Amino acid sequence: MANQIKGPAIFLAQFLGDQAPFNSLDSILAWAASLGYEGVQLPTWDTRVIDLKTAAESQTYCDELKGKCAEHGLAITELSTHLQGQLVAVNPAYDLMFDGFAPEQVRNNPTARTQWAVDQVKYAAKASQRLGLTAHATFSGALLWHTFYPWPQRPAGLVEQGFTELAKRWVPILDVFEECGVNACYELHPGEDLHDGITFERFLEATGNHARANILYDPSHMVLQQMDYLGFIDVYHERIKAFHVKDAEFTPSAKSGVYGGYQSWIDRPGRFRSLGDGQTDFVSIFSKLTQHGYDGWAVLEWECCLKHPEDGAAEGAPFIRDHIIRRAEKAFDDFAATGADEALNNKILGL
């Protein structure tokens, strides 16, 4: 139905592993289907799931991949290049920590690593087109993140230069997405230069308001930043083209707040939780997205610091299904309608 959210779906990245049923595409698809999911978001860096370059070049390969999912009653919702997108822009301060996201042949070589990442995201655009997808999930990367708190004082023009360079790297990629008819959806996430509405606006302006620069809406990151995640939908709904359903909670203490004190996730004031265990108002989120006509997928992303992932996944499908709103086909007071009559209207208006 038009303007109805699709789902439930699940992002497979956090579930893939070395033990069955999480160690092969066939078995993890069967597992997801058994829990009641109707769609899967695929991490493109895991070759057990997809060979991204082949998918970009071969329609036969993509048809077979879609067919394998369909055998389990599953659709592919989006491809994800979160890791590769991160590597499109890496400040040298993070080189050592992010090198592990890239293949060995480009490690310790930031220029080669960046080019590899750019090629990967372009492959994802072409693969998405071959798979018949219209949205793609990714990260922006970050050149400025180490300056997010303004001490020492940022030199004049630093932020503008940072976003100009970020856009310079992404516009050629976004142009490929335009050619392919696919929206690049940036998950707004601390650690990325695109982490809230203001930074997205800065980037959007730097790209010339590129039509394919869009948003993956994940309220959990807004809860942890203490943002108005409901108002965000009202402001940015035209750019929201993907949706991660992930819960979170924020409980500040006398000792720690938003920044977390370098603590592990389980001890931080802001924590990701399994669906229904946190503070996020999903009733209002699904209502607002439906009101604004979002008809993409609702995709579970599980990152709870307490609950077992298999329990979170099992609970996630019915949670999402119960929140999807079937749009009304008529107004509740249509029974009292008097019909269209210009003459009657004029009389009511005293004309």
Per-residue pLDDT of 88-128, as tens digits, reads 999 999 999 999 999 999 999 999 999 999 999 999 999 99
Per the structure, the count of domains in the chain is 1
Task: Give the DSSP H/E element, type plus range, for residue 110.
Answer: helix 110-130
Average pLDDT over residues 164-178: 98
HSE toward the beta carbon, residue 197, CA cutoff 13 A: 17
**Which among 9, 6, 7, 25 has a CA at the least distance from the CA of 17?**
25
Neighbours of 219 (CB within 10 A): 25
Task: Please state, in angstroms and rounded to a whole number, the distance separating the CA atoms of residues 144 and 165.
Answer: 10
Structure-token match 């072409």, residue found: 126
Reply yes or no on whether the pLDDT at 338 is more than 90: no
**Which among 299, 322, 284 has a CA at the least distance from the CA of 133?**
299
Average pLDDT over residues 142-163: 97
Query: To 10 degrees, what angle do helices 197-206 and 158-180 make?
Result: 70
Confidence band for 1, pLDDT divided at 50, 70 and 90: very low
> CA separation (Å) from 234 to 134, 197, 229, 290?
22, 12, 9, 11
Task: Give the DSSP H/E element, type plus range, for residue 97.
Answer: helix 95-98
Instruction: Give the range of the structural domain holding residue 182, as residue numbers without chain letter.
Output: 6-349
| H-helix segments, 153-281 | 158-180, 197-206, 219-224, 229-236
pLDDT score at 57: 98
Within a domain: 141:
yes
Q: Count Cβ atoms within 10 A of the Cβ of residue 5 and give its class: 0-12 exposed, 13-18 middle, 19 or more buried.
A: buried
Q: What is the CATH number of the domain that holds 280?
A: 3.20.20.150
Q: Are 200 and 186 in contact (CB under 8 A)?
A: yes
Average pLDDT over residues 337-347: 88
Strand ranges for the chain from DSSP E: 6-11, 39-43, 75-81, 135-138, 183-187, 213-217, 240-245, 247-250, 270-273, 297-300
Confidence band for 3, pLDDT divided at 50, 70 and 90: confident
Within a domain: 1:
no
Within a domain: 254:
yes
Q: Are 81 and 127 in contact (CB under 8 A)?
A: no
pLDDT score at 288: 98
CA-based torsion, 201, 203, 208, 210: positive or negative: negative
Within a domain: 315:
yes
Give the CA angle between residues 25, 27, 32 to the nearest 5°: 90
Q: Is the pTM for the entire model greater than 0.75?
A: yes
pLDDT score at 2: 57
Within a domain: 163:
yes
Residues of 225-243 as b/e, b for ≥16 C-beta within 10 angstroms?
bebebeebbeebbebbbbb
The residues that bridge with 243 in the sheet, in sequence order, are: 217, 298
Encode pLDDT of 266-285 as tens digits: 999 999 999 999 999 999 99
Cα Rg of the chain (Å, integer): 22
Query: pLDDT exceeding 90 applies to what percent of the chain?
Result: 94
Task: Please state, in angstroms and rounded to a whole number, the distance separating the CA atoms of residues 189 and 80.
Answer: 15
